[in-house]
Amino acid sequence: MNSELVGTLKALSTDPARVVDLYRQLYAGSFVVPVQEGSEPDLGTALFVTYPCPDGARELPVFTSPDYVLRDMPIEVVLVTVDGNALGPRLLTNRKVRSCP
């Protein structure tokens, strides 16, 4: 688990300067993300599963551990573990997603 990362996230509200640590930890971390079943073998083409938010944005749930995942995800969703150094660029350059209601 990314306990150091979780600690940094909690500290941000009282110490905004910790954002410098946050970016380093996001890059070095490992995360669990939901993707559409069958698209998971290749992160470059995987279809991330997103969920709607009240403000109209679509959120990609990113977890620090398989123990902390959403319950009741659609059956066609597969959880994959991705290194932060691969996840960040993938989110910026390729926005393929499968939306859940």
pLDDT tens digits for range 34-83: 888 888 888 878 888 887 778 877 778 888 777 776 777 777 888 889 99
Q: Quick check: is 8 in a domain?
A: no
Per-residue pLDDT of 89-100, as tens digits, reads 877 765 555 555
Question: What is the distance between the alpha carbons of residues 40 and 48, in angstroms, rounded to a whole number?
Answer: 9
6 inside domain? no
On whether residue 22 sits in a domain, the answer given is no
Residue range of the domain that includes 95? 30-99
Identify whether 16 is part of a domain: no
Write the pLDDT tens digit of every residue in 4-26: 888 999 999 999 999 999 989 98
Answer whether residue 17 is part of any domain.
Answer: no
The Cα 22–Cα 32 span in angstroms is 17
Buried b (16+ CB within 10 A) or exposed e, 17-56: ebeebeeebbeebbbbbbbbeebbeebeebbbbbeeeeee
Residue whose token pair is 């600690």: 7
Would you say residue 79 lies in a domain?
yes
Determine, yes or no, domain membership for 2: no
Q: Report yes or no on 34 lying in a domain.
A: yes
Strand 77-83 relative to strand 48-52, pairing: unpaired
Total number of domains in the chain: 1
